[in-house]
């Protein structure tokens, strides 16, 4: 299996998986925030999920009826999924602020940009490079929006994650 | 008790010996020969702690009518040797009417034997065996005893053939020779009260131990998976089940401990297979937490507890009725479940089969309280009819939608989805849950699910099987488990003296049936509770959970010695006169 | 070793139930949950043919979050429960999920025998080196100097090495994964399920609440520098000298899985009763 993406179908297959992962990840985070009574951030994640859903829709429309290969999540080429990886991410906290959520989203978008930049750089097929460039531009636009948003939200204080109550033993 | 007057004659025979003498083999053969001759009987055994070569006593009681208790005194005691006989002396009561056959080569007859005043005769088994090649003392003993009690020679020979058919021809020949030597020698002993051989049975008879019967009951009931850990005196249940389950398409596996056993059968039952384990007191104690899991998640399982002397390691090879508390009350939380107890060796089959049926029908654990006395006694019984209790689990249909595993209503039993059924996916849980099965700590859910688990077993109609109720009278004796048989015999003796006492022996111990018990005690002015437990567990259980309409007294003691009818008859008389 | 990628009928999300997890945001178990659903989807396992068995602990709550059959049992006994289920229902795909306390402390004995028995199941332990649900006590895999209320200054005890124990006891597939790599974890889960016999995966799954120091696992976890070995001696040496953060399949065995033998045509109970006839 080649290490680079060489066909439109393969690229679309990758993008589909990536967008779906992002969408579901934001949905899961929104749900986690709801369960932990952090409704402001839940709403924010839901909004981010909505955006991803739109992109996913766009990609699926792009795919249309064409045959695209099925890619197992672990077979994604050159995709660094640490952007969306919540495990151990400093910002992910039941008391996280919109600022943190946006930082998370920003990191994810940057990884996506890197992915597409990689394709435009390494792929031998011009059509593929063009499509990748298109997606890259789209992602850059997201980054701008998120940065704008970031500018508007409250910056966390030093004690943003201080909870006077100790942990509870549920079961 | 030999009571020639009423033709209720029974004979008790003991064969003792050690170091490879083969007394248990001889005892088994004697029982089987008697069975073929149309007699009923019981065979109990006692042995030292050695794995092999220890002292052993084979104790057989035979009669023309069914027996469910040991006799009062041994009519014949034949001792191949006297090693460590002190260990058993208390289990071998003798009287001046007894005949002791001793081998002079084994030295003087011990005081503990002669003190009874029994008549002693000599049979030089050791020398006789030595004189003829390959002849063994236990066959000489068997021959002597068989002829003294009146067993026809061809019946004994038939058993020899059956038992030895897989061995070399000379083994059969030498055994025949041994038997013949014993028969010949016995002609010089006066015994004078052989049993009258009854007419041949008109229906088939079985020879079976309580442990085997429990296994057979499980198989009849539909059990097809067993996971278990060996423990005295329950291991024979497993030894019987292992090959026999396989024959009916089931399987037994040995687990690493009782904690694994109980969880394995929960897993197998969750997957749809009626499952069972067998253990004794210490093992049941280990299993309690997970039995509670089966209660909470409503998974049917059956646990056979062959009770032994407690507490803790206790007396593994002897019987007691002291696991009642733990069986009925040992689960943490409010954890209603079923506890049943067989009353005789043959009843081990019915009760275990019934337990499987109840567990499956009510989706609940059922504990069967057998004991060493029933489990390791081999009895000759009438072939048991099949009551037709087969597991009938209420299973959710495949392709179901919006499935609620613990739905309320329907008498408390909700259809159980079996893995593989589409749409029925649920997570069984020890956590309290709502009707769907999702964990819940809500007040309403705990109340309604507690009621579901309790009502489904308390509102079930158990029918007449809940207890054995016999006889009439203002006085009643209440007992359970293995004490039932010997109590029956005691009451029969009292009835012959004109004292009529009612017997109530519940088979269903949990859930408690206060109304049924009150009904059974209608017209009773006083009741006496009998049990083999130092702390009178059953008496206190009755007082706590039943509305007893009359004054109730208790007679109890610990094991290891089983009750004999005369002891109970005397206690009942004493109490009735007080 | 390739896992076939057939186009699945269900997506990963279809394997999630409607029950919302209560784990702390940032918990590694979210990632493992996601990995499980991805593995099931890629293997196209019908949800009704899968059973996930767990004990007690944060990670043991997983069965309720899945749309498969499940059993949330008592502490430490999940491997036994799963064994009874799989032996009597070999048609099901059976997984066991739980934590390090549940699996190696109270469950230690059953862990040994599950590896030894080698029944075809997959055991996933989410190892966070702490008892999270009961608010932070040391577990058998906790570092000896980790300070806690029940063991001030640390237990001073050498941590349990589950992969070595699994190898010595007879597990047929041994792997380690990191929750910070959900796709990698998904792949190893799929491979473990497909491999016959008892498959054991230790997933390093950080506890954000009681082990915030485990954030550094992100930098410590790394792919094992060598391929999986089938040589048990080599595997033993590697696992004994492992730094605890090597991820990947570390050992692949070829032991025949244990299952109940087919006893042929079954007799009826009435047929076997004849053995008691006098």
Number of structural domains (chain C) is 1
- How many other C-beta atoms lie within 10 A of the C-beta of residue C142? 23
Per the structure block, which two tokens stand in for B100? Answer: 């002791």
Structure-token match 């017209």, residue found? B523
- End-to-end Cα spacing for chain C: 61
Q: Residue B54: what pLDDT?
A: 87
C205 inside domain? yes
Q: What is the pLDDT of residues B218-232, one digit of tens each?
A: 999 999 999 999 999
Rg of the Cα atoms in chain A: 18
- In this predicted structure, which of A18-32, B144-158, B381-395, C178-192 has the lowest mean pLDDT? B381-395
Which residue of chain C is at minimal alpha-carbon distance from A89? C26
Q: What is the pLDDT of residues C161-184, one digit of tens each?
A: 999 999 999 999 999 999 999 999
Q: What is the pLDDT of residues B126-142, one digit of tens each?
A: 999 999 988 999 999 99
**CB < 8 Å from C in window 62-121 of B:** none
**Stretch B570-575: mean pLDDT:** 97
H, E, C per residue of B84-130: CCHHHHCCCCCCCCCEEEECHHHCCCCHHHHCCCCEEEECCHHHHHH
- In this predicted structure, which of A75-79, B192-196, B312-316 has the lowest mean pLDDT? A75-79
User: Looking at the complex, does the CB of residue C182 fall below 8 Å from at least one CB of chain A?
Assistant: yes
Which residue of chain B is at minimal alpha-carbon distance from C272? B244
Query: What is the C-alpha separation between B490 and B534, in angstroms, rounded?
Result: 21
Chain centre distance of CA A61 = 20
Identify the helix (H) or strand (E) that includes residue C93: strand C93-99
| Complete domains list, chain A, with CATH | 8-150 (1.20.1260.10)
**CB < 8 Å from C in window 364-403 of B:** 380, 383, 386
Structure confidence at residue B202 as a pLDDT band (50, 70, 90): confident
Please indicate whether, in this complex, the C-beta atoms of C31 and A76 are within 8 angstroms of each other. Answer: no
- Using a CB-CB distance cutoff of 8 angstroms, which residues of chain A are in contact with residue C205? 87
List beta partners, residue C199: C122, C173
Q: Residue B98: what pLDDT?
A: 97
Query: What is the C-alpha separation between B251 and C263, in angstroms, rounded?
Result: 9
- How many other C-beta atoms lie within 10 A of the C-beta of residue B541? 20
pLDDT at B52 over 90: no
- Domain hosting C117: range is 23-275
Structure confidence at residue B523 as a pLDDT band (50, 70, 90): very high
Which residue of chain A is at minimal alpha-carbon distance from C5? A72
Q: Residue B200: what pLDDT?
A: 83
User: Looking at the complex, does the CB of residue A63 fall below 8 Å from at least one CB of chain C?
Assistant: no
Please indicate whether, in this complex, the C-beta atoms of B271 and C68 are within 8 angstroms of each other. Answer: no
User: Looking at the complex, does the CB of residue A1 fall below 8 Å from at least one CB of chain C?
Assistant: no
Q: What is the pLDDT of residues C36-50, one digit of tens each?
A: 999 999 999 999 999
- In this complex, the residue of A35, A88, A94 whose CB is nearest that of residue C218 is A88
- In this complex, the residue of C26, C34, C135 whose CB is nearest that of residue A167 is C135
- How many other C-beta atoms lie within 10 A of the C-beta of residue B260? 28
- Alpha-carbon distance C245 to nearest alpha carbon in chain B (angstroms): 31
User: Looking at the complex, does the CB of residue B479 fall below 8 Å from at least one CB of chain C?
Assistant: no
Query: C117: domain CATH number?
Result: 3.40.50.970
- Alpha-carbon distance C190 to nearest alpha carbon in chain A (angstroms): 11
- In this predicted structure, which of A47-51, B20-24, B95-99 has the lowest mean pLDDT? B20-24
Mean per-residue pLDDT of chain C: 95
Which residue of chain A is at minimal alpha-carbon distance from C184? A74
Q: Is B432 left (phi over 0), alpha (psi -120 to 50) or beta?
A: beta
Structure-token match 């011990």, residue found? B110
What is the model's pTM? 0.95
As a whole-number percent, the residues of chain C with pLDDT over 90 amount to 94
Q: How many CA atoms lie within 13 A of B373 on its CB side?
A: 25
C35 inside domain? yes
Please indicate whether, in this complex, the C-beta atoms of A169 and C22 are within 8 angstroms of each other. Answer: no
Dihedral sign computed on CA atoms, order C38, C43, C48, C49 = negative
- Using a CB-CB distance cutoff of 8 angstroms, which residues of chain C are in contact with residue A78? none
As a whole-number percent, the residues of chain B with pLDDT over 90 amount to 90
Mean per-residue pLDDT of chain B: 95
List beta partners, residue C203: C126, C177
**Stretch A16-37: mean pLDDT:** 94
- Whether residue B149 contacts residue B137, with contact meaning beta carbons closer than 8 Å, is answered with no
Structure-token match 């056979």, residue found? B304
C34 inside domain? yes
| Entry field: residues in chain B | 578
Q: What is the pLDDT of residues A149-167, one digit of tens each?
A: 999 999 999 999 889 888 8
C74 inside domain? yes
Query: What is the C-alpha separation between B359 and B367, in angstroms, rounded?
Result: 9
What is the complex's ipTM, to 2 decimals? Answer: 0.95
Which residue of chain A is at minimal alpha-carbon distance from C210? A167
Dihedral sign computed on CA atoms, order B280, B286, B288, B293 = negative
User: Looking at the complex, does the CB of residue C34 fall below 8 Å from at least one CB of chain A?
Assistant: yes
**Stretch A8-31: mean pLDDT:** 93
Tell which of C269, C271, C275 to mutate to test the B interface (max B CBs under 10 Å).
C269
Structure confidence at residue B169 as a pLDDT band (50, 70, 90): confident
Identify the helix (H) or strand (E) that includes residue C9: none
Which residue of chain B is at minimal alpha-carbon distance from C276? B206
Q: What is the pLDDT of residues A102-129, one digit of tens each?
A: 999 999 999 999 999 999 999 999 999 9
pLDDT at B2 over 60: no
Q: Residue B5: what pLDDT?
A: 38
Between strands B467-470 and B378-382, the pairing is unpaired
C7 inside domain? no
Tell which of B200, B202, B220, B271 to mutate to test the C interface (max C CBs under 10 Å).
B271
Q: What is the pLDDT of residues B490-507, one digit of tens each?
A: 999 999 999 999 999 999
User: Looking at the complex, does the CB of residue C211 fall below 8 Å from at least one CB of chain A?
Assistant: no
- Using a CB-CB distance cutoff of 8 angstroms, which residues of chain C are in contact with residue B417? 69
Q: Residue A83: what pLDDT?
A: 63
C16 inside domain? no
As a whole-number percent, the residues of chain B with pLDDT over 70 amount to 98
Per the structure block, which two tokens stand in for B68? Answer: 């469910």
Q: What is the pLDDT of residues B308-338, one digit of tens each?
A: 999 999 999 999 999 999 999 999 999 999 9
Q: Residue B168: what pLDDT?
A: 84
Query: What is the C-alpha separation between C178 and C206, in angstroms, rounded?
Result: 9
Q: Residue C9: what pLDDT?
A: 78
User: Looking at the complex, does the CB of residue C183 fall below 8 Å from at least one CB of chain A?
Assistant: yes
Between strands B301-307 and B338-340, the pairing is unpaired
- Alpha-carbon distance C193 to nearest alpha carbon in chain B (angstroms): 17
- How many other C-beta atoms lie within 10 A of the C-beta of residue A17? 19
Query: What is the C-alpha separation between B94 and B113, in angstroms, rounded?
Result: 8
pLDDT at B53 over 90: no
Which residue of chain A is at minimal alpha-carbon distance from C58? A171
- Alpha-carbon distance C104 to nearest alpha carbon in chain A (angstroms): 19
C258 inside domain? yes
pLDDT at C3 over 70: no
């Amino acid at each position: 299996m080649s290490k680079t993406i060489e066909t439109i179908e393969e690229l679309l297959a990758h993008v589909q998986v990536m967008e779906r992962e992002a969408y579901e990840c934001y949905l899961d985070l929104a749900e986690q925030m709801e369960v932990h009574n952090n409704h402001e951030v839940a709403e924010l994640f839901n909004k981010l999920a909505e955006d991803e859903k739109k992109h996913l829709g766009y990609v699926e429309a792009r795919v249309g009826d064409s045959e695209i290969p099925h890619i197992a999540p672990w077979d994604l080429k050159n995709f660094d999924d640490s952007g969306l990886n919540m495990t151990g991410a400093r910002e992910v906290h039941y008391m996280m602020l919109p600022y943190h959520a946006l930082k998370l989203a920003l990191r994810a978008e940057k990884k996506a940009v890197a992915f597409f930049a990689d394709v435009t750089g390494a792929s031998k097929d011009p059509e593929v490079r063009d499509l990748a460039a298109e997606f890259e531009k789209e992602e850059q636009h997201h980054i701008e929006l998120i940065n704008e948003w970031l500018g508007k939200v409250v910056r966390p204080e030093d004690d943003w994650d201080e909870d006077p109550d100790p942990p509870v033993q549920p079961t | 008790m030999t009571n020639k007057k009423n033709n209720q004659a029974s004979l008790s025979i003991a064969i003792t010996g050690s170091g490879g003498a083969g007394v248990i083999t001889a005892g088994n053969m004697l029982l089987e020969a008697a069975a073929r001759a149309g007699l009923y009987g019981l065979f109990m055994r006692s042995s030292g702690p050695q794995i092999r070569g220890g002292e052993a006593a084979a104790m057989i009681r035979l009669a023309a009518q069914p027996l469910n208790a040991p006799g009062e005194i041994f009519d014949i005691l034949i001792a191949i040797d006297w090693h460590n006989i002190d260990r058993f002396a208390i289990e071998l009561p003798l009287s001046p009417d007894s005949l002791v056959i001793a081998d002079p080569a084994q030295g003087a007859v011990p005081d503990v034997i002669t003190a009874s005043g029994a008549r002693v005769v000599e049979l030089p088994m050791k020398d006789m065996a030595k004189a003829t090649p390959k002849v063994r003392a236990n066959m000489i003993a068997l021959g002597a005893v068989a002829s003294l009690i009146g067993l026809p020679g061809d019946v004994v020979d038939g058993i020899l053939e059956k038992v030895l058919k897989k061995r070399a021809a000379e083994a059969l020949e030498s055994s025949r020779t041994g038997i013949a030597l014993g028969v010949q020698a016995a002609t010089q002993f006066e015994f004078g009260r052989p049993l009258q051989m009854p007419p041949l049975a008109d229906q088939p008879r079985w020879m079976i131990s309580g442990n085997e019967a429990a296994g057979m009951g499980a198989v009849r009931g539909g059990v097809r998976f067993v996971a278990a850990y060996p423990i005295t005196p329950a291991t024979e249940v497993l030894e019987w089940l292992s090959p026999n389950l396989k024959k009916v398409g089931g399987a037994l596996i040995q687990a690493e401990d009782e904690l694994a056993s109980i969880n394995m059968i929960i897993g197998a039952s969750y997957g749809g297979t009626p499952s069972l384990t067998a253990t004794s007191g210490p093992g049941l104690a280990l299993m309690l937490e997970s039995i509670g899991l089966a209660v909470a998640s409503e998974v049917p399982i059956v646990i056979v507890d062959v009770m032994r002397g407690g507490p803790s390691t206790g007396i593994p090879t002897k019987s007691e009725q002291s696991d009642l508390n733990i069986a009925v009350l040992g689960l943490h939380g409010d954890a209603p479940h079923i506890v049943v107890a067989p009353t005789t060796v043959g009843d081990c089959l019915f009760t275990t089969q019934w337990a499987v049926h109840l567990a499956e029908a009510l989706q609940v654990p059922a504990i069967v309280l057998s004991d060493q006395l029933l489990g390791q006694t081999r009895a000759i019984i009438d072939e048991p009819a099949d009551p037709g209790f087969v597991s009938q689990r209420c299973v959710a249909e495949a392709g179901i939608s919006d499935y609620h595993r613990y739905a309320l209503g329907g008498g408390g039993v909700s259809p159980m989805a079996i893995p593989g059924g589409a749409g029925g996916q649920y997570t069984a849980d020890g956590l309290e849950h709502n009707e769907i099965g999702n964990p819940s700590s809500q007040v309403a859910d705990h109340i309604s699910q507690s009621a579901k688990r309790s009502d489904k077993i308390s509102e079930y109609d158990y029918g007449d099987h809940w207890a054995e109720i016999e006889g009439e009278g203002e006085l009643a004796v209440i007992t359970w488990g293995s004490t039932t048989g010997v109590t029956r015999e005691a009451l029969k003796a009292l009835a012959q003296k004109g004292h009529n006492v009612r017997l109530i022996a519940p088979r269903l111990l949990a859930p408690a049936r206060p109304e049924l018990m009150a009904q059974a005690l209608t017209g009773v002015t006083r009741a006496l509770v009998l049990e083999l437990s130092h702390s009178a567990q059953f008496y206190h259980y009755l007082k706590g959970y039943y509305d007893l309409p009359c004054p109730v007294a208790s007679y109890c003691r610990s094991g290891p010695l089983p009750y004999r009818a005369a002891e109970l008859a005397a206690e009942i008389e004493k109490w009735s006169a007080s | 070793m390739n896992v076939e990628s057939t186009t699945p009928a269900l997506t990963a999300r279809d394997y999630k139930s409607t029950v919302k997890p209560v784990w702390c945001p940032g918990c590694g178990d979210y990632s493992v949950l996601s990995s499980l659903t991805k593995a099931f989807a890629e293997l196209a396992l019908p949800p009704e043919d899968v059973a996930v068995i767990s004990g007690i602990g944060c990670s043991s709550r997983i069965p309720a979050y899945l749309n498969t059959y499940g059993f949330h049992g008592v502490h430490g006994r999940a491997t036994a429960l799963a064994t009874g289920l799989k032996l009597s229902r070999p048609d099901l795909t059976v997984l066991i999920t739980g934590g390090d306390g549940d699996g190696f402390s109270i469950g230690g004995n059953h862990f040994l025998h599950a590896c030894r028995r080698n029944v075809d199941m997959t055991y996933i332990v989410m190892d966070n080196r702490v008892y999270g649900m009961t608010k932070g006590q040391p577990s058998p895999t906790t570092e000896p100097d980790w300070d806690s209320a029940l063991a001030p200054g640390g237990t001073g005890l050498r941590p349990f090495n589950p992969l070595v124990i699994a190898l010595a006891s007879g597990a047929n597939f041994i792997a380690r994964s990191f929750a910070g790599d959900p796709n990698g974890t998904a792949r190893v889960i799929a491979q473990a399920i497909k491999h016959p016999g008892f498959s054991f995966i230790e997933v390093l799954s950080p506890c954000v609440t009681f082990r915030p120091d485990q954030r550094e696992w992100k930098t410590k976890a790394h792919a094992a520098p060598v391929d999986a070995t089938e040589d048990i001696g080599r595997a033993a040496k590697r696992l004994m000298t492992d730094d605890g953060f090597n991820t990947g399949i570390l050992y692949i065995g070829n032991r025949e899985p244990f299952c109940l033998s087919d006893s042929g045509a079954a007799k009826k109970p009435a047929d076997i009763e004849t053995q008691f006839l006098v």
